[in-house]
Each structure stands twice: as structure tokens, then as C-alpha cells.
Amino acid sequence: MITGKPRVAITVGDPAGIGPEIAAKVAEDPRVTDACDVVLYGPPADARFEPGVLSADAGRAAFEAICRAVRDAEQGVVDAVATAPINKLAFARAGLPWKGHTDLLAHLTGAPRVAMMFWSDPLKVVLATVHVPLLDVPRTLTRELLDDIVDLTHHELPRFGIASPRLALAGLNPHAGEDGLMGDEEQRVLRPVVDAARARGVNLSGPFPGDTVFVRAVRGEFDAVVACYHDQGLIPVKLLAFGTAVNVTLGLPIVRTSVDHGTAFDIAGRGVADPSSMVAATLLAAKLAVVRTRSARL
């Protein structure tokens, strides 16, 4: 039946985790069914996975569901994809080289540059590096990488209703380096990135100390913060909005959102998983799908 509502694919993630449970709950949630038509993507109905047990089979099943959903999104069968959590170790045991959804989705869609953004009412954060060991973060933060992330964020935020984004760049070192006293990355890499962005017409400020920039954003000074590394950005988001924040992949040719949590093997199969983040992810996916459809018609 054609309803006129966007069709959102929900992948159930690792079938041994809480993904199948929260996906099923979301598919029946009135807030979701009012906003979109849900299509579930998971392993065959007769496949069996023991809750809470890590396995290569579960990793492979999650991967195959993602591939099907992405293919259907590219072909217009669905209008957006919302993903339940996968397990990185299960992917590795299945012989899959990707560390998470973001790099896998970039591979599947051929996107040249993507970024992970966490969207919540109080705070929006984009990660410059994601699953990179802290030891490797400084050498990974090149001007080229940061230029791409900043430009991508500036370009993508208008579809979220922020017409002229005010961006802040968090410093890497304590006190944003204290003029080189605590590290030179701010002077050598980050400040030139800010200067170059402003010369291109991007409203980027910083680099600011990581212990204050997120407070300033929450108070309304900035629309989004570009964080240098994973935990720098995710700790404030999850402190303020755990369970309601949404992971959005910027730079893809399709709409993709996800939850702000993992597979929770410890409670899998018990029927107690909270679907709040999956609800938020699905609703945002539906909203972005509508925006994309309207833009395509202009």
C-alpha cells in the first residue's frame, strides 16, 4: 500500500545483540509509524543466533543485511536507512575489514569523504577521527583531513535546518596547546585550518580548549563542534543526551542514521532493551528523507 510517507529501512544489526529487539519495538511505535513506513532488514526468519554470544556468523549476517538495505536505498526502494548496532569483533571474526558502519557505508556507496556526526537537541558534534588509537590521533589530524571534515560539515548542516552553520574546532591538547606550551598541533595544524576555512567563507572558530568548547556550544554560541577524536566528542554528547542522540553519516549519497549505543550483549534476549535511540534515529532518517525528496524536486 502506498502511503506517501517515506520508507525507512531498519537493519537489525548484530542478531545476537539487542538490535532485533529494538528494531521490532520501533517498527510498532506509533511515533514511528505516523512518520514513515518501516522495512526491516535482517537474517532469514529461520536463522538462529544465541543472544549475547559473539560469532562470525552473526557478524556476517549483520553485514549482509546492511548491504541489502544500502542497495535498496541507492535504487530508491527505500528512502533512508537507520541501523541498529553491529559488533566490530564479530565483523573481524567474519573476516570483514571494516571497523564499523561508517567506513563500510563509504565503501558500499563509493563516497569519497564521510564523517560521523552525533545529533542531539543540546549538542551536535562531528568527529574528525573515529576509531583511531589515541597514540595515532596527532599524526592522523592533517590539514587535508580537517579541511575536508570542516567543508563537509558546513555543506551538510543546512539539510538539518541550520542555514548558516557556526562551527567550532576543538583543540587537541589541554588548553588548546597553551600557545605551544602543551603541544604544537594547534599552531601547526589546527589554526591554519581555521584561517583557511574562514577564507573560503566557512564560519569556523577555534581551536578552543576541549574542556570549554562544548559548554559554549550547548549555550548557543556554536551550532556544531568538530572534535579531534572519538571520546573527546562522544563523552559530552552521551553525558547530555544518551539514548536520544543519533549517529548520522555525513557525505553519503543516501540518508543513514543510527543509534548512539552498542550491541549490549549483556541484556540481549531479555526483552528489556530501551529503543529510544533507535526511535530517534528512525524519526530523523524519515525527516531527512523528506528534506532530500523536496530538494530533489526543486
Superfamily covering domain 1-111+252-298: Isopropylmalate Dehydrogenase (3.40.718.10)
Q: What are the boundaries of each domain within the chain?
A: 1-111+252-298, 124-241
pTM higher than the cut 0.85? yes
Mean pLDDT, residues 214-237 taken together: 98
What string of H, E and C letters represents the secondary structure of 234-282?
HHHHHHHHCCCCEEEEECCCCCEEECCCCCCHHHCCCCCCCCHHHHHHH
Q: What order of strands is seen across the sheet that includes strand 124-127?
A: 37-41, 7-11, 80-83, 256-258, 246-250, 115-119, 124-127, 224-227, 167-170, 204-208
Q: What are the two backbone dihedrals, phi and then psi, of residue 217, each rounded to the nearest 5 degrees?
A: -65, -45
| Pair 280, 244: CB distance under 8 Å | yes
Instruction: Report which of 237, 231, 282, 258 is spatially closest to residue 125, judged by C-alpha positions.
Output: 237
- pLDDT above 70 coverage of the chain, percent: 97
- Cα 293–chain centre separation: 21
Of the listed ranges 96-100, 119-123, 264-268, the one predicted with least confidence: 96-100
d(CA 125, CA 145): 16
Do 1-111+252-298 and 124-241 have matching folds? yes
- Which cell is 140 given? 592522523
Of the two residues 99 and 9, the one the predictor is more confident about is 9
Neighbours of 171 (CB within 10 A): 26
Residue 82: which of 252, 276, 257, 291 has the closest Cα? 257
Domain 124-241: state its class. Answer: alpha beta
Decide if pLDDT at 296 tops 80.
no
Q: How far apart are CA 159 and CA 288, in angstroms?
A: 7
Q: What are phi and psi of 40, to 5 degrees?
A: -85, 140
Please state, as a whole number, how many other Cβ atoms lie within 10 Å of the Cβ of residue 3: 9
pLDDT digits over 135-193, tens only? 999 999 999 999 999 999 999 999 999 999 999 999 999 999 888 889 999 999 999 99
Our CA dihedral for 30, 71, 12, 87, rounded to 10 degrees, sits at -140
